[in-house]
Amino acid sequence: MNKPILVTGGAGYIGSHAAVALMERGEKVVILDDLSESKRSQIPEGAIFVEGSIGNADLVTNVITTHGIESVMHFAGFIQVGESVRDPQKYFKNNVENMRIFAETCASLGVKHFIFSSSAAVYGNPERVPVGEDDRLAAINPYGETKVQGEKLLSQLPSMQKGILRYFNVAGTDPKGRIGYRHQERPTHMIRSCIRALIEDDLFVINGNDYPTRDGTCIRDYIHVSDLADAHVKTLDYLRNGGMTRTFNCGDGHGYTNLEVVKTVEKVGEKSLRLAFGPRREGDPASLIADASRIRKELGWAPQFTLEDMVRHELAWVRHTMQTA
User: What integer pLDDT is reported at residue 323 of this predicted model?
Assistant: 72
Q: Same domain, yes or no, for 245 and 208?
A: no
Helices marked H in the chain: 13-24, 57-67, 81-86, 88-91, 99-108, 142-155, 190-200, 225-240, 258-269, 293-299, 307-324
* pLDDT digits 0-9 by tens, 85-127: 899 999 999 999 999 999 999 999 999 999 999 999 999 988 8
Tell me the C-alpha distance between 84 and 34, whole Å.
19
Residue at which a domain ends, from 250, 265, 297 = 250
Tell me the C-alpha distance between 30 and 25, whole Å.
15
CA 63 to chain centre: 24
The answer to whether 172 and 122 have CB atoms below 8 angstroms apart is: no
Tell me the C-alpha distance between 85 and 224, whole Å.
26
Q: Same domain, yes or no, for 282 and 244?
A: no
Q: Same domain, yes or no, for 199 and 117?
A: no
Tell me the C-alpha distance between 14 and 119, whole Å.
13
User: What integer pLDDT is reported at residue 283 of this predicted model?
Assistant: 65
181 located within any domain: no
Q: Same domain, yes or no, for 75 and 65?
A: yes
Mean pLDDT for the chain overall: 94
Beta bridge partners of 219: 257, 287
Q: Same domain, yes or no, for 211 and 312?
A: yes
Residue at which a domain ends, from 250, 270, 293 = 250
Q: Same domain, yes or no, for 208 and 233?
A: no
Portion of the chain with pLDDT greater than 70, in percent? 97
CATH code of the domain containing 273: 3.90.25.10
184 located within any domain: no
**Single-letter amino acid, residue 185:** E
The answer to whether 153 and 113 have CB atoms below 8 angstroms apart is: no
Q: Same domain, yes or no, for 50 and 123?
A: yes
Q: Same domain, yes or no, for 146 and 10?
A: yes
Q: Same domain, yes or no, for 242 and 230?
A: yes
CATH code of the domain containing 66: 3.40.50.720
Give the phi and the psi of residue 243 in degrees, each rounded to 5.
-65, 145
Q: Same domain, yes or no, for 10 and 35?
A: yes
Opening angle at CA 189, ends 19 and 36, nearest 5: 55
Residues involved in catalysis: 143
Give the phi and the psi of residue 223 in degrees, each rounded to 5.
-130, 135
Q: What share of the chain is helix, strand, coil (3-state, %, to 5)?
A: 40, 20, 40
Tell me the C-alpha distance between 126 and 142, whole Å.
16
289 located within any domain: yes
pLDDT in tens, the chain (325 residues): 789 999 999 999 999 999 999 999 999 999 999 999 888 988 999 999 999 999 999 999 999 999 999 999 999 999 988 889 899 999 999 999 999 999 999 999 999 999 999 999 999 988 899 999 999 999 989 999 999 999 999 999 999 999 999 999 999 999 999 998 865 656 678 898 999 899 999 999 999 999 999 999 999 999 999 999 999 999 999 999 999 999 999 999 999 999 999 999 999 999 999 999 999 977 677 888 999 999 999 999 999 999 999 999 999 998 888 776 5
Tell me the C-alpha distance between 325 and 316, whole Å.
14
Using alpha carbons, list the distances in angstroms from residue 138 to 126, 143, 144, 280: 8, 12, 8, 20
- Which residues span the domain enclosing 127? 5-172+222-250
DSSP 220: E
**Single-letter amino acid, residue 95:** N
Give the phi and the psi of residue 75 in degrees, each rounded to 5.
-110, -15
Q: Same domain, yes or no, for 38 and 59?
A: yes
Tell me the C-alpha distance between 100 and 95, whole Å.
8
123 located within any domain: yes
Tell me the pTM.
0.95
90 located within any domain: yes
Portion of the chain with pLDDT greater than 90, in percent? 84
Instruction: Say how many C-beta atoms besides its own lie within 10 A of residue 264's C-beta.
Output: 20
Q: Same domain, yes or no, for 208 and 147?
A: no
Overall domain count for the chain: 2
264 located within any domain: yes
User: What integer pLDDT is reported at residue 172 of this predicted model?
Assistant: 95
* pLDDT digits 0-9 by tens, 24-77: 999 999 999 999 988 898 899 999 999 999 999 999 999 999 999 999 999 999
The answer to whether 305 and 231 have CB atoms below 8 angstroms apart is: no
182 located within any domain: no
Give the phi and the psi of residue 225 in degrees, each rounded to 5.
-60, -30
60 located within any domain: yes
User: What integer pLDDT is reported at residue 285 of this predicted model?
Assistant: 78
